[in-house]
Amino acid sequence: MLITFEGIDGAGKSTQVARLKRHLQELGHEVLTLREPGGTEVCENIRELLLQSKHDIAPVTELLLFAASRAELVEKVILPALEQGSIVILDRFSDSTTAYQGYGRGLSLELLEKVNGIATFGLRPDITFFLDITPEDAMIRKFSEKSLPLAFDSEELDRMESSGLEFYRRVRDGYLRIHESEPERMVLLDARLSPQILHERISGKVEQWSAAGRNA
């Protein structure tokens, strides 16, 4: 079973990934969690390239670097873990590419579909949790986490984070459109709910999915 978490930075993905992992482990499942980009040494190096704020990267280069990191992770780690019967939980996957490089940076959705297909080897999540929050609320959370004054041009932000509020509005809009086109797979959750309520809704959905026996 492949579960993915999506949403802009600060939405609460990492928080929910950690809770779901613990919950599923307590139920006796083998669980692997990974963050994108990252997860192998090569992927962590690509992550450095992508997130370091001093790099100015062309949109297509950015797309291909994210895709390269994903292809590596899918082939080396995700597919083998799924074959062994593990539940794999990903903090971001191909919907991030569609939302960020497509809706955010303006690359054509046709190009994205092709690249996503190559990078994932056709692998699709069974369930995706989209934690929806406004960019303003997300930024407020991020800054309070780092105990910094709220400033959208702060040097403390990584390259993606410093792309600005307009960029994040387009990304959020992109996620909403993906949800509209695939409401069955992508579960939309209001990220302003408490971590506990979100966790209960998420684990409830996962259990419902497993009970339905849609493992084929």
Ligand X SMILES: Nc1ncnc2c1ncn2[C@@H]1O[C@H](COP(=O)(O)OP(=O)(O)O)[C@@H](O)[C@H]1O
DSSP state of 148: -
Could you give the CA distance from residue 15 to residue 189 in angstroms, rounded to a whole number? 14
164 binding ligand X? (CB under 6 A): no
Taking CB within 5 to 8 Å according to partner kind, which of Mg ion, ligand X, none is near residue 141? Answer: ligand X
14 binding Mg ion? (CB under 5 A): yes
H/E stretch holding 117 reads helix 109-120
| Residue that the structure tokens 């041009």 belong to | 153
86 binding ligand X? (CB under 6 A): no
- Tell me the window of 4-12, 55-63, 82-90, 114-122 that interacts with ligand X (CB under 6 A): 4-12
Give the tokens for residue 184.
Answer: 């069955």
DSSP state of 132: E
Taking CB within 5 to 8 Å according to partner kind, which of ligand X, Mg ion, none is near residue 95? Answer: none
134 binding ligand X? (CB under 6 A): no
Could you give the CA distance from residue 65 to residue 56 in angstroms, rounded to a whole number? 13
Q: Is the peptide bond before 37 cis (omega within 30 degrees of 0)?
A: yes
Question: Measured from the CB of residue 41, what is the shortest distance to ligand X in angstroms?
Answer: 22
Asked if 40 and 76 touch (Cβ cutoff 8 Å), the reply is: yes
Give the tokens for residue 214.
Answer: 């849609």
Q: Which is nearer to ligand X, 76 or 159 (CB)?
A: 159
Site for ligand X in 168-207 (CB under 6 A): 193-195, 198
Q: Which is nearer to Mg ion, 13 or 170 (CB)?
A: 13
163 binding ligand X? (CB under 6 A): no
Name the residues that contact Mg ion, by CB under 5 A: 13-14
Name the residues that contact ligand X, by CB under 6 A: 7, 9-15, 141, 145, 193-195, 198
